[in-house]
Structure 1
Amino acid sequence: MKRIFTALLFTAATSGAVWAQDIQNNPGSNHGNKFEQLGTILPTSNEQRTASGAPGVKYWQQRADYNIKAELDEKNLQLKGSETITYFNNSPDHLDYIWLQLDENEHSTLNNSNYQSSSGMPRTSTIQNIDRVEGRNGTADNGLGDMITKLTDATGKKLSYTINKTMMRIDLPTPLKPGAQFIFNIDWTYKITDRMTVGGRGGYEYFPEDGNYLFTMTQWYPRLCVYSDFQGWQNHQFTGRGEFALTFGNFRVQLTVPADHVIGATGECVNYSAVLSADKLARYNKAKTSTVPVEIVTLADAKKAEKAPSTAKKTWVFQANNVRDFAWGSSRKFVWDGMNQNVAGKNVMCMSYYGKEAYNLYSKYSTRLVAHTIKSYSKFSINYPYPVAQSVEASNGMEYPMICFNYGRTEKDGTYSEATKNGMIGVIIHEVGHNFFPMIINSDERQWTWMDEGLNSFVEYLTEELWDNKFPSKKGAAYTIVDYMKLNKNELEPVMTNSENIVRFGPNAYSKPATALNILRESIMGRKLFDHAFREYAKRWEFKHPTPADLFRTMEDASGEDLDWFWRGWFYGTDPVDISLDSVKVARGDLKDEYKAQGGGNRMAPRVAAPAVNSFEDISKVRNREDKTIKFQTDIDTATHDFYWKYDRGMASVDTAKFNSLVKAQTPSTFATEPMTAEDKAKYGSKWFYELTFTNKGGLVMPIIVEFTFKDGTKMIDRMPAQVWRLNEKTVTKFYIQDKEVTSIKLDPMRETADIDESNNYWGKLPEPTKFQLFKQKMANGAPVRGQSTGVSPMQAGK
């Protein structure tokens, strides 16, 4: 054994001269580059944005106030509007023109963004898809998009303007000086599109069964682009993917709709007494203080309205202050319920709007989820500042200040699959959560989608975990991003990529940054340090316009951690994590045992859906359950219990198919040992010595987490920080002295690092192989609307 020590010491001594050489920034080097600082990549700090990540003493941002009147013509499917906009120039610059967004031009054949992608002729298609392609490729005016009918200044004088695709430039009569404001009036109209066939976030959905419409009015008015200190005018066209960069301001909006419609909108309605009947107004006032949902417009009310549409009209008036946008939903089909949620001493009215098609899911869950979301997000970021938060079921998934549009419909008999239920829970939490990111912490979604979707998906994951410890979150836990990380580099881009240039948009903009932040929280910084720094970021940038550098710098500034290596690898690179346990050298006095490595197995789902719980419990679930201060919402509120809550806990049974099994071949591997001398035996005779060699096969440096299992069944975990790779980014060795014999060694036992190849993470005895079931799927005809339950669900098959 002494010879082993001598060899190790000699290696360390002779390598010291190499380590002492300064070969940083050398692409051919095997060390140092992945730990380079981001100083040459991040923008230079200044008086607007400091090196600490906080707004500077001369930080500024623009403001735009809107006074809008609009009328919904349900018969002709048209929207007409007029608005007065007051634009405040808080910048130090003189402005010769201002830019507006005309996002409805997305649907125009003449004024869309013209971002084309390659396409081929399909082997099979539907008439609807061919119609859609023909509409996009047509050169004639399809009559869609914003029609500007008048543009004047405050005195009524016409203004000159130019429309460039989805944007409009207004040329100012005289330059707008710093500190000055400009008031102008704009009238417009557009044809409302069928959102279910044309696509897009806004439009209408028609219900042929009852002959009624559900309108989601989004990106529906001309609105200011952002003029900022870091890029001037935001000039990315709206392609339908990258979302929005918007200016904060105050809104007063008057909406004229059919008299039997119910409207949910950004802000507070200031004339409920004029648009609601006495009984509905009484129920609304009751809901304002209730801790459980109260139906303001009942299911019976909604069904009655569906059968006898009104020809009269009513005008609803809404006020919203310090918001970046305004959206609304309108329909006579809506059931409407609400309840109160207290956040840091402030009452928030949580409400939901949904048709009979979603009643059995939304009446039970939607408003409770709205309340749970704003409460949980307030814990992890900033206290929710607005007076209302709303969810609208619209076979959709999109967010706006104080309101969002979601999905989740049942079978005609009122039952639903667990996938539909969980999908609805996830989308409501996600879209309500967007109130924080980016509606308040107001990043530029069109440039950096991940600052919106990724950060929000991360806090969505934390919030789902607090809803139900068995909830099967699909993003956030490290192992869920593995399939994406192992793709060919031709299919990957860095997270720091513009929205329109991403091939695999979902995993890149949502899942990967969410996973990265969760790894940072659970496995690198720890919850206490991370949570403090993340809250500091949210506090610094609420109601402001942060950039990635502001997040990166704040997280380091508030935690005392140098994380440049982490941002460099996870956000600027495409390398995956693949840490291999290449060899284990074992030594002791009279070691004779052999250590064998074995294969693993895999698992598929049964024919009748098994409980939708993750097959692997990630470290967040385990820690949350061990933390006795955490109370899960479904344990607190038993009204959230349904068939699937019991099914996931073995309290409800269904008929399931039999499993076939698959056992992989096992390949043994034997390791050499070396005897101890008599002199050392007295001292080290009972010790076990191990030298582990690790290779960074993936390229992304990460902590090395090693779990030892001893012969007596006990375990020990050693955590090496990512900096262990700083002197050699390809290979690391670690020497261990153990008091007991090790029977197996496993890397990343809780799957915390997103390692893409777990087959090289083992040494010794592996777990028994699991089983999987083979079956041939029967393909269903037709495609359901988003979030629609279909087929036979366990709820229907339940005993």
Structure 2
Amino acid sequence: MKKFLIPFGFLLFVVGKSNAQNTQNNPGSNHGNKFEQLGGILPTPNEYRTASGAPGPKYWQQRADYDIKCNLDESKLQLTGSETITYWNNSPDALTYLWLQLDENEHSSKNNANYQDGSGMPDTASSQQIGRMMSQNEPNKGGVNIIKLTDGLGAAMKYTINKTMMRVELPTPLKPGKQIVLKVDWNYYISNRIKEGGRGGYEYFPEDGNYLFTITQWYPRLCVYSDFQGWQNHQFTGRGEFALTFGNFKVQMTVPSDHVVGGTGECQNYQQVLSPAQFARWQKAQTTKEPIEVVTLDEAKKSEQDKTTKTKTWIFKADNVRDFAWGSSPKFVWDAMPAYVEGKKVMCMSYYGKEAYGLYRKFSTKAVAHTIKTYSKFTIPYPYPVAQSVEASNGMEYPMICFNYGRTEKDGTYSEAAKYGMLGVIIHEVGHNFFPMIVNSDERQWTWMDEGLNTFVEYLTEELYDNKFPSRRGPAFTITDYMKLPKDQLEPIMTNSENIVQFGPNAYSKPATGLNILRETIMGRELFDYAFKEYARRWAFKHPTPADFFRTMEDASAEDLDWFWRGWFFGTDACDIALDSVKGFKPEFITKSNGTAVVYKKLAGPQVNAFEDISKVRNRDDKNIQFLTDADTTLRDFYWKYDRGIEPYDTTNIAVPNNTTAATLTDDEKKAIAAENFYQLFFTNKGGLVMPIIIEWTYKDGTKEVERIPAQVWRKSETKLSKIFVKHKEVASIKLDPMRETADIDESNNSWPNVSAPSRFQVFKAAEQARGQSTGGNPMQAAEKKKGF
């Protein structure tokens, strides 16, 4: 999804509905709740989905194949299509009707889902905002027009359109093991994506008089029919994304002859649609070690000026995918290079206009290659023949193709925010090939199963791109501002996508952070990576549910994680473990039974994270890890040097006792104990979320030691706890969670002697700019001006 909760009820995995409740086994008690098994919260295992989290012996799923012909009329801004759908009923049920999605009705004034939110009048508003307010109830031409719907023999079929869904009523039930052919003719007017929003549409460039089209959610397509909920026919509101059925696609797109097209799958007729020189470059790109421009910048600039009425038809084929999307524009520069995943060649490609050339030419295709190789390491080998990134001032994913953002200043320079924003969105959207394009969860119901899991592996991939990558989602300390919000502003992760208020933190950041905590702090990398990889292997090209993920992670690791799922996924409690007090004891030896004892700057500083999280430290210490910017030094740009102090940070222009009975000890026993120091630490779980206790001991000789106590220490007392520690050295100070691993929301109560939290500096919000453009101070531009460029 674009790179960004259910009130507690019963979690019932039944047809059409899912809710979640963090049930309490022993309400009012300080134990017996947080560590109990999920039990009845998860669905009962069956022959389709086992208790281990694996598909059952009778697991099934449907299939839909598409043969589509379409025409892009640039003068009318209209797309016309004709498709043949072959649908296989692999379920044990006889189906009397089929449900299809008409997602483009999102833009219809008549047939949209009509899910409304409250609103208020802002103090200031742009003319675009006012225009949207004025037009929101006006009739428009948006939405899909169904011209004709027949069966394979041409007989008309009855259908009903309900907002963004279409029910096709079958003349006779479609029995198990049988198939049906549908033929649909349709058209719609393409929306202005920049002004109206949405994932697909056009962007108009008035200075050049041309368009960039992203054609997505564009054809009537089958909903998922599954064993755990029947038809997934929830309305498309613009947020919850797309549960879709796997199948094979053949798509023919007729577009203006000056356009370049990139789409899901492999083009079948490059030799017919490319010039001889371009086709020769495409062949050369099959074996290159650096990205080659198949369509050059000069050719793209020339095409931008061409105004033609001629057309070309591009033919694409894609097998075993759940969707199809494409981009078309005269603006596109197109470069390509191969990457290899377990010996299999994958063509990595990028499409971008001159506005993004300075960033995308250097970084995009190599970032695509890095992403599919890294995700393959943590999940399954990338199975498709191509992976593509398209710059479209957007952020959205589809099989084998995604739309991203990242444009330079007119002089070709860019800010560090623009660079890392572009790299982050490319990694995120390309990564969606794995979640949910391959591991195909229900995005409309459980956003976290694709966005959260994908954001987590995005974080791992960013960390392996460059050890200085300023990852914002993944390190535990970055989620604390969200988790300390009042409870009435929070929802559990286990919440339907339409009901989430804080969408980015809830569906992206919190799940990703939770998985990173599991990997680094609770399970360890080896156990976690094995179990996570097993989940991807089990559910590749299938439809998993949350229970399948939870159960697989435990089944493959022998770790009881129900307490973690309860707290992190089903609850809204935060981690706030306080070190209330410390008592120190030295033993006394007696012969009788008795007790024992802001500055604001014009130029942006390096975007290196102020705190190096534990993943960065471990990755740097791991001799088996080589970062991409070390392996490929061509990726070391101005900001690579800037972050390391090689390019200097220009400050000249910156103004910015325990009673027990005992027998007398022997001299040897006294000697063994005399040198020891005993400490009793008292903790309070103020936040309610149980977490491991991580203690950093600093001794009076200056040395340090980190001690880790598993979360299960809270199982018999979930609110208050004390624990005794014996140390060979005398302790000078104690600090909880020194590497900020547990997302503790209040670090002021983590130290002894108490150390006050550092004061905050003021932050201001910069003026908004178009998505993906260079923002903030631009040290690269300033440095080049000093050089006289």
TM range (shorter): over 0.9
Gaps of 5+ in 1: 1-22, 591-602, 662-670
Question: Could you tell me whether the CA contact under 8 Å between 1:607 and 1:775 is conserved in 2?
Answer: no
Identity %: 70
The residue that corresponds to 1:395 in the other structure is: 393
Return the alpha-carbon distance in structure 2 between the equivalents of residues 648 and 414 of structure 1.
20
Shift of 1:121: 2.4
The residue that corresponds to 1:599 in the other structure is: none
Shift of 1:639: 0.7
Return the alpha-carbon distance in structure 1 between the equivalents of residues 136 and 572 of structure 2.
33
CA deviations over 1:450-489 (Å, ceiling 9, x no partner): 0010000000000000000000100001001000000000
Letter in 1 for 2:401: I
The residue that corresponds to 2:64 in the other structure is: 64
Letter in 1 for 2:727: Q
Larger displacement relative to structure 2 (616-625 or 677-686): 677-686
Counterparts of 1:495-510 in structure 2 under 5 Å?
Answer: 495-510=493-508
The residue that corresponds to 2:612 in the other structure is: 617
Shift of 1:209: 1.3
Shift of 1:576: 0.3
Q: CA RMSD in A?
A: 2.2
The residue that corresponds to 2:288 in the other structure is: 290
Letter in 2 for 1:636: A
Return the alpha-carbon distance in structure 1 between the equivalents of residues 108 and 54 of structure 2.
41
SS in structure 2 opposite 1:551? helix
Return the alpha-carbon distance in structure 1 between the equivalents of residues 368 and 550 of structure 2.
29
Return the alpha-carbon distance in structure 1 between the equivalents of residues 451 and 622 of structure 2.
28
The residue that corresponds to 1:550 in the other structure is: 548
Inter-CA distance 217–425: structure 2 relative to 1 (3 Å threshold): same
The residue that corresponds to 1:16 in the other structure is: none
Question: Could you tell me whether the CA contact under 8 Å between 2:602 and 2:655 is conserved in 1?
Answer: no
Q: Is 1:91 the counterpart of 2:86 in the alignment?
A: no
Question: Could you tell me whether the CA contact under 8 Å between 1:578 and 1:756 is conserved in 2?
Answer: yes
Gaps of 5+ in 2: 1-22, 589-597
Partner of residue 571 from structure 1, selected from 569, 572, 588: 569
SS in structure 1 opposite 2:424? helix
Partner of residue 631 from structure 1, selected from 623, 626, 633: 626
Shift of 1:428: 0.3
Q: TM-score, normalised by structure 1?
A: 0.91
Return the alpha-carbon distance in structure 1 between the equivalents of residues 413 and 122 of structure 2.
36
Inter-CA distance 279–44: structure 2 relative to 1 (3 Å threshold): same
Counterparts of 1:521-600 in structure 2 under 5 Å?
Answer: 521-588=519-586
Inter-CA distance 521–711: structure 2 relative to 1 (3 Å threshold): same
CA deviations over 1:180-204 (Å, ceiling 9, x no partner): 0010100000000000000000000
Q: Is 1:646 the counterpart of 2:635 in the alignment?
A: no
The residue that corresponds to 2:715 in the other structure is: 726
Q: TM-score, normalised by structure 2?
A: 0.92
The residue that corresponds to 1:3 in the other structure is: none
The residue that corresponds to 2:780 in the other structure is: 795
Return the alpha-carbon distance in structure 2 between the equivalents of residues 558 and 137 of structure 1.
53
SS in structure 2 opposite 1:539? helix
Question: Could you tell me whether the CA contact under 8 Å between 1:743 and 1:765 is conserved in 2?
Answer: no
Shift of 1:619: 0.4
Counterparts of 1:314-325 in structure 2 under 5 Å?
Answer: 314-325=312-323
Return the alpha-carbon distance in structure 1 between the equivalents of residues 777 and 259 of structure 2.
34
The residue that corresponds to 1:706 in the other structure is: 695
The residue that corresponds to 1:655 in the other structure is: 650
SS in structure 2 opposite 1:26? coil
Q: Is 1:172 the counterpart of 2:170 in the alignment?
A: yes
Inter-CA distance 526–654: structure 2 relative to 1 (3 Å threshold): closer
The residue that corresponds to 1:467 in the other structure is: 465
Inter-CA distance 770–643: structure 2 relative to 1 (3 Å threshold): farther
Return the alpha-carbon distance in structure 2 between the equivalents of residues 712 and 64 of structure 1.
70
Shift of 1:653: 1.8
SS in structure 2 opposite 1:40? helix
The residue that corresponds to 1:160 in the other structure is: 158
Shift of 1:686: 2.3
Shift of 1:658: 9.2
Question: Could you tell me whether the CA contact under 8 Å between 1:605 and 1:772 is conserved in 2?
Answer: no
Shift of 1:770: 6.8
Inter-CA distance 725–772: structure 2 relative to 1 (3 Å threshold): closer
Shift of 1:143: 1.1
Return the alpha-carbon distance in structure 2 between the equivalents of residues 764 and 411 of structure 1.
51
Shift of 1:366: 0.3
Return the alpha-carbon distance in structure 1 between the equivalents of residues 345 and 93 of structure 2.
40
Return the alpha-carbon distance in structure 2 between the equivalents of residues 775 and 557 of structure 1.
46
Larger displacement relative to structure 2 (678-687 or 99-108): 678-687
Inter-CA distance 792–682: structure 2 relative to 1 (3 Å threshold): closer
Inter-CA distance 415–158: structure 2 relative to 1 (3 Å threshold): same
The residue that corresponds to 2:745 in the other structure is: 756
The residue that corresponds to 1:366 in the other structure is: 364
Partner of residue 685 from structure 1, selected from 674, 679, 682: 674
The residue that corresponds to 2:593 in the other structure is: none
Counterparts of 1:186-585 in structure 2 under 5 Å?
Answer: 186-585=184-583
Return the alpha-carbon distance in structure 2 between the equivalents of residues 686 and 178 of structure 1.
77
Return the alpha-carbon distance in structure 1 between the equivalents of residues 678 and 39 of structure 2.
42
Shift of 1:36: 1.2
Larger displacement relative to structure 2 (112-121 or 538-547): 112-121
Letter in 2 for 1:558: A
Inter-CA distance 165–618: structure 2 relative to 1 (3 Å threshold): same
SS in structure 2 opposite 1:43? coil
Return the alpha-carbon distance in structure 1 between the equivalents of residues 525 and 67 of structure 2.
44
Question: Could you tell me whether the CA contact under 8 Å between 2:264 and 2:399 is conserved in 1?
Answer: yes
CA deviations over 1:659-679 (Å, ceiling 9, x no partner): 999xxxxxxxxx99xxx9998
The residue that corresponds to 1:132 in the other structure is: 132
Q: Is 1:116 the counterpart of 2:116 in the alignment?
A: yes
CA deviations over 1:255-283 (Å, ceiling 9, x no partner): 00001100010000000011011110111
Return the alpha-carbon distance in structure 2 between the equivalents of residues 704 and 584 of structure 1.
15
Q: Is 1:36 the counterpart of 2:36 in the alignment?
A: yes
Ranges of 4+ aligned residues in structure 1 off by more than 4 Å = 603-607, 657-661, 676-683, 769-777
Inter-CA distance 659–300: structure 2 relative to 1 (3 Å threshold): closer
SS in structure 2 opposite 1:35? coil
Shift of 1:62: 0.2
Inter-CA distance 315–611: structure 2 relative to 1 (3 Å threshold): same
Return the alpha-carbon distance in structure 2 between the equivalents of residues 685 and 122 of structure 1.
70
The residue that corresponds to 1:600 in the other structure is: none
Q: Is 1:786 the counterpart of 2:737 in the alignment?
A: no
Return the alpha-carbon distance in structure 2 between the equivalents of residues 107 and 198 of structure 1.
8
Return the alpha-carbon distance in structure 2 between the equivalents of residues 538 and 217 of structure 1.
29
Question: Could you tell me whether the CA contact under 8 Å between 1:444 and 1:545 is conserved in 2?
Answer: yes
SS in structure 1 opposite 2:573? coil
The residue that corresponds to 1:51 in the other structure is: 51
Question: Could you tell me whether the CA contact under 8 Å between 1:408 and 1:420 is conserved in 2?
Answer: yes
Return the alpha-carbon distance in structure 2 between the equivalents of residues 231 and 370 of structure 1.
35
CA deviations over 1:630-681 (Å, ceiling 9, x no partner): 00001110110111000000000242279999xxxxxxxxx99xxx999886
The residue that corresponds to 1:595 in the other structure is: none
Return the alpha-carbon distance in structure 1 between the equivalents of residues 762 and 117 of structure 2.
38
SS in structure 2 opposite 1:137? coil
Shift of 1:440: 0.2
The residue that corresponds to 1:593 in the other structure is: none
SS in structure 2 opposite 1:90? coil
The residue that corresponds to 1:11 in the other structure is: none
CA deviations over 1:308-344 (Å, ceiling 9, x no partner): 2322100000000000000000000000000000001
Larger displacement relative to structure 2 (789-798 or 289-298): 789-798
CA deviations over 1:395-426 (Å, ceiling 9, x no partner): 00000000000000000000000001000010
Q: Is 1:747 the counterpart of 2:736 in the alignment?
A: yes
CA deviations over 1:594-638 (Å, ceiling 9, x no partner): xxxxxxxxx767442110010000000000001000000011101
Return the alpha-carbon distance in structure 1 between the equivalents of residues 181 and 127 of structure 2.
47
Inter-CA distance 626–792: structure 2 relative to 1 (3 Å threshold): closer
The residue that corresponds to 1:608 in the other structure is: 603
Shift of 1:792: 4.3
Shift of 1:25: 1.5
Inter-CA distance 747–660: structure 2 relative to 1 (3 Å threshold): farther
Return the alpha-carbon distance in structure 2 between the equivalents of residues 65 and 776 of structure 1.
52
